[in-house]
Structure 1
Amino acid sequence: MTDSLNVASPDCAEGFFAGRQARCVGLRHAAGLADLRAVLERHRGPAASLNLIGHSTRQHHLLRLGDTPIDMLNPVVARFFRAAAGDGLLAGAGIVAVRLLGCETAVTEAGRRTLRMLAQTLRMPVYGTRVPLLKSHSGPAGFNPVFSHLLVEAAHLPTEN
């Protein structure tokens, strides 16, 4: 089983700490791509899945870190992930997969396109969600593997015509 590096948008992070049960104990915060880069630059550890946790945008259900939707049609976002792959940032952090853990990030055409483009850019498995996620889907280590059936890998998504 792969460890997880859990990085959450600050606007949803408190929900993972609230309640009687500990959730996402090692949660890091990223209010945008620069913060995400800083987290990745500091992380060293065993092979890990990068769990990006945030609310999704209303219409397209794209994961949002702060005010930045993870949309691979946005040149700034695409450039960030190309650089992260090209300069070894992800490999150096031990990242072997990326999961966009926001509500229904694999449901809309825009979301599926971003997942496929991100997987192609990073050359690693990228996952999105098929349903709204609740804090009960997470535990102290992050996303609970019991709920892995709620995720879909970009490689298994249908392509648009």
Structure 2
Amino acid sequence: MGVMTEIRTPRLLLRRWLDSDLVPMAEINADRRVMRWVDDGSVRSLDETAEDIERWEEEWDEEGFGLFAVELLASGELAGFTGLTLPEYLPEALPHPAIAWRLGAPFWGQGYASEAAHATLEFALQDRGLDHVVAISRVGDTASANVIGKLGMVPERETTHPEYDVPLQIHGIDLTEYAA
């Protein structure tokens, strides 16, 4: 484990991953509604989720940023993830990190994704000194588009997922403008 990084927002704790997160994250990844706009829409197994978390933690150690586990302060429940990740599957978006989030369906519609994403952008700028962050979403994913809009990110280009052949939109923000 590298540096322990935690961010508190009014309702959320963004933190590194614990062993106890595996089962609740796997339940989120097994929900077709959650995964509808991710890659080709396939759900992910417990083993695949364990591999995901391991990879996310490795990225923290290698890059100094990564995907946070998002915990509800009120209940201690794992709501999902948000954070920064290098979009290696989409070379045209590199070298900029992408802000990403995935919350379980019970946690939708309450502003948690926006709250966590705002905190992540502040972390990117103030803590990591990054100057540009992108967001990559499937065309038609209106919930993600809403969060992206609230963050003040602007459309940069449309492209196609190199593996799954689905239309993607890349949005971006210069963090110097975000701070202003």
- Normalised to the residue count of structure 2, the TM-score between the two structures is 0.34
- Normalised to the residue count of structure 1, the TM-score between the two structures is 0.36
